[in-house]
Structure 1
């Protein structure tokens, strides 16, 4: 009986162990190498790898935690590389669509600065021999991204296989750059409440839902007062 119970617990943990951002450090993470103390009244969150939406239902608010870290955990520079890293292991659900976005207005709007569509976390399409081994992405930030001493970084993911879920973690970053504005694509949200589309399982077709990220999109403009500092 003990062995059977232990096996069930291991199975449950493995099922729940989805993907989780660790750099920039998401709000109240237990897994970042260095992290601030949680703000007053908040505690470490040991379940940041669970979806915020499932089968069209809202399970948690966007970012999961709406109160930011007391200070930013990364400082990036407009036009320079930025690295996003995930905890090792985890269930990648045969890939899916990932976006990396920034908000300059406290989380009201998010502009996309990078996409990994179709088979996020894989080296190539899983049905064509792609390997589930990618746990970090480095990409160049737009050169005209305005500077700010506090932006919200958001990772979002719609999984390719399994329950129709929507994953999201948020961190707090600063951007070195001049004052100005930047216009780009608004973040895509799906499988998250009645006002958003439900992207079905891919079933081997990795173009499933891509139009929501590339064609049926909204452009938004963000502004920043400029920043030149360090975290």
Structure 2
């Protein structure tokens, strides 16, 4: 029993010292959330959610780390509300990079972007100009015309500025209160994730590196929801 307990503590410590992981909303199979739904049958807690899902052109894990969603959503949001996404305070930020927050209405096949934090994600300004590694939450408004649904997939994605060319991603299962309808926006950027995806090189101090995949060389997508009143 002592041996198993020690292994569990080591796993938690490793996760805390890894890369960046959202703490709110609770990502799929997280060991850290204050409250979380019951795990799907046959699944287990994932102590490596902060690890990349892609690295140097190799796919290491599926989008969201896990294909099977929580059986129940962990958060219910309302279209138009202010949302604060939170991260655990410890973790390696690789000198920033490009981050996006997006949502899917078809089980994680199509994600439309809700918010971007480009160049200096996790920093309060350019590192070369004294920006500090101190940002651990982002607040933005959900679109007022975001359609309602009883189960959507919310995603955090990140391409790091420094280090191996990696792609980070975690997902949470949420409901959106709102009317039936559709929403059109930018398709989420996926890079450094194997064949068929763009490779964004190490920034080497140039924070415009790969920016075109987020601002100009992009695709629009439309998501639809049946409506949900809670």
Whether the TM-score (by the shorter chain) exceeds 0.5 is yes
Structure 2 residue 51 is matched with structure 1 residue 50:
yes
Residue of structure 2 equivalent to 1:139: 140
1:81-92 alignment, distance < 5 Å: 81-92=82-93
1:33-72 alignment, distance < 5 Å: 33-72=34-73
Q: Is the 8 A contact 1:23 1:84 kept in 2?
A: yes
For residues 221 and 70 of structure 1, the distance between their equivalents in structure 2, rounded to whole angstroms, comes to: 25
Structure 2 residue 100 is matched with structure 1 residue 99:
yes
For residues 206 and 34 of structure 2, the distance between their equivalents in structure 1, rounded to whole angstroms, comes to: 37
Q: TM-score, structure 1 length as denominator?
A: 0.92
Residue of structure 2 equivalent to 1:148: 149
1:182-211, CA deviations, whole angstroms, 9 ceiling, x for partnerless residues? 000000000001100110111111111111
Q: TM-score, structure 2 length as denominator?
A: 0.92
Q: 1:15 to 1:173 in 2, by over 3 A?
A: closer
How far did 1:37 drift?
Answer: 2.0
Runs of 4+ that moved beyond 2 A: 12-16
Residue of structure 2 equivalent to 1:6: none
How far did 1:80 drift?
Answer: 1.2
Q: 1:157 to 1:218 in 2, by over 3 A?
A: same
Residue of structure 2 equivalent to 1:3: none
1:149-192, CA deviations, whole angstroms, 9 ceiling, x for partnerless residues? 10000100000000000000011001111111000000000000
Q: 1:16 to 1:190 in 2, by over 3 A?
A: farther
Q: How many residue pairs were aligned?
A: 219
How far did 1:74 drift?
Answer: 0.9
How far did 1:127 drift?
Answer: 1.1
For residues 77 and 172 of structure 2, the distance between their equivalents in structure 1, rounded to whole angstroms, comes to: 13
For residues 14 and 221 of structure 1, the distance between their equivalents in structure 2, rounded to whole angstroms, comes to: 35
Residue of structure 2 equivalent to 1:172: 173
Give the unaligned 5+ runs of structure 1: 1-8
Residue of structure 2 equivalent to 1:113: 114
